[in-house]
Amino acid sequence: MQLVCAARWPTPCARLCWPDAWKSPRRFSPSRVLVNFGHHLRHRRSAPSLIVPPTLRCPATISAQVRQIQTSKTMHTKKDHYPAICANLFWDAFGPEGIAALAYWYGAQCSSGLMHEWTRFPLMQVSGAPGTGKDTLIEFLWKLLGRDCYLGWMPHKMTASALARNLAENDSRPVVLIDLEPDAQGVELINVFAGNVPHDVSAHTSGQPTRHYWFHGAALFVAESQRSLPTELQHRMVNVQLCHRSKAAGTQLGMVPVDLLAAFSRDAQRSANTGAGLIARRAMKYRPTLTDRYGLTDQTLLDTYSRVMGMVDALTLVVPLSSAQLRTTRNLVAHAGSQQQFRSDWPASARGGQDVFGKGGV
């Protein structure tokens, strides 16, 4: 398909028309676009010089109206087709790292059934250099729950009362924490979202006793680089590091309207009980694999990474991932656990003069 920019009509946003309408300017109409496009294919008329490539990678000078039409022509074939978007476009944009985050997002929708067996929910940290698509990834995850143009919380810029109010109103939904620094205050807040300690708020002016707010849900931390945290917190956290992949796919993904993705929340809730059971069973299945093949010996690490690997398998209840995509994502998660075990064993190995590439290394 070829769109022609009619430069003879100088307006703030250049009008767009088809070759048939070049000599007789008319107001832009989607129905006329389809008719003229079919006519253009039949007669193979040559187009004027200013040609816009027929992809979703629109330059900034093209109007928002054309972006919507291009999006509708490639995506609006079925109302609830987020599974195809996640299995193809999302994979091209973020690869197995993004699928691991998406699986964690789905596991968060099953948390009510999982917390009957688990005492604490795993944490996840998504890091990456500027330009790797962290914001695009987080915005897409929120779109899956019907929330548009949203990233998350910035607790270090919130007052204690505002944070307490958000915790009280959260209702076990997943929380995304943006750029939380690993200083003393940041570590204290991470402990709050890890469920280790409550968030205490004292009302000095009213004289009321201190109130305790506990968090028992999924927390996803976003940072440019992996943070140096206490060992207990690191063992509760799956580290996913984004890398530079298809920027064009990321641009297209950011243009997907929220109404094409919001059905994910409905389907996730419908399959929550089945998903929780599958996650628990697969987590038990992967524990021996993590110990024998990847050298994980710490029980907290085994719990954390085996559960997220189970979430990857359960994601297939709503997203049709291929066996190759599943295998690659599980290997990525397992390797991240092996690296975490190695970092934990490094000080002891260095002090004892042992081979750091022995059991538990990579």
Co-location of 62 and 135 in the same domain: no
Q: How confident is the model at residue 165 (pLDDT cuts 50, 70, 90)?
A: confident
CB 286 within 8 A of CB 117: no
Domain assignment present for 100:
yes
Co-location of 55 and 88 in the same domain: no
Per residue in 266-275, pLDDT tens?
999 999 999 9
Question: Token pair for residue 344?
Answer: 């934990």
Burial class (CB in 10 A: 0-12, 13-18, 19+), 147: middle
Q: Which residue has the higher pLDDT, 201 or 235?
A: 235
Co-location of 286 and 176 in the same domain: yes
Domain assignment present for 189:
yes
Flag whether the pTM goes above 0.75: no
Q: Which residue has the higher pLDDT, 187 or 323?
A: 323
Whether the per-residue pLDDT at 12 is higher than 70: the answer is no
Q: What is the predicted pLDDT for the residue at 206?
A: 57
Co-location of 154 and 292 in the same domain: yes
* H or E stretch at 236: none
Co-location of 100 and 62 in the same domain: no
Co-location of 71 and 165 in the same domain: no
Q: How confident is the model at residue 159 (pLDDT cuts 50, 70, 90)?
A: confident
Percent of the chain with pLDDT over 90: 42
Q: How confident is the model at residue 199 (pLDDT cuts 50, 70, 90)?
A: confident
CB 198 within 8 A of CB 214: yes
Q: Which residue has the higher pLDDT, 183 or 150?
A: 150
What number is the average pLDDT over the span 295-313?
95
Q: What is the predicted pLDDT for the residue at 106?
A: 96
Whether the per-residue pLDDT at 335 is higher than 90: the answer is yes
Q: What is the predicted pLDDT for the residue at 266?
A: 92
Q: What is the predicted pLDDT for the residue at 356?
A: 30
Structure-token match 């201190």, residue found: 210
Q: Which residues contact 125 (CB under 8 A, 6 or more apart)?
A: 220, 221, 222, 223, 226, 227, 237, 238, 239, 240
Instruction: Identify the weakest region by mean pLDDT among 64-78, 109-123, 233-247, 329-343.
Output: 64-78
Domain assignment present for 360:
no
Of 75, 94, 119, which closes a domain? 75
- Tell me the residue range of the domain where 32 lies: 3-75
What number is the average pLDDT over the span 136-152?
93
Domain assignment present for 292:
yes
Co-location of 228 and 263 in the same domain: yes
Max avg pLDDT among 114-128, 146-160, 228-242? 114-128
Measure the CA–CA gap between 58 and 21, rounded to whole angstroms: 22
Of 75, 110, 133, which closes a domain? 75
Domain assignment present for 269:
yes
Measure the CA–CA gap between 32 and 17, rounded to whole angstroms: 9
Rounded to 10°, the helix 90-109/323-352 angle is: 80
Of 75, 97, 119, which closes a domain? 75
| Sign for the pseudo-dihedral over CA of 185, 188, 194, 195 | negative
Question: Token pair for residue 88?
Answer: 């193809």
What number is the average pLDDT over the span 249-257?
92
Co-location of 68 and 155 in the same domain: no
Domain assignment present for 358:
no
Per residue in 67-81, pLDDT tens?
343 344 344 334 447
What number is the average pLDDT over the span 241-269?
91
Q: What is the predicted pLDDT for the residue at 32?
A: 41
Number of domains within the chain: 2
What number is the average pLDDT over the span 225-250?
86
Co-location of 22 and 69 in the same domain: yes
Co-location of 59 and 119 in the same domain: no
Co-location of 211 and 310 in the same domain: yes
Whether the per-residue pLDDT at 229 is higher than 60: the answer is yes
Whether the per-residue pLDDT at 304 is higher than 60: the answer is yes
End-to-end Cα distance, the chain: 50
Q: Tell me what the pLDDT averaged over the chain comes to.
A: 76
Q: What is the predicted pLDDT for the residue at 154?
A: 87
Map residue 239 onto helix, strand or coil: strand
Domain assignment present for 129:
yes
Per residue in 28-87, pLDDT tens?
444 443 334 344 444 444 433 333 333 333 434 323 333 343 344 344 334 447 888 988
Per residue in 91-118, pLDDT tens?
999 999 999 999 999 999 999 889 888 8
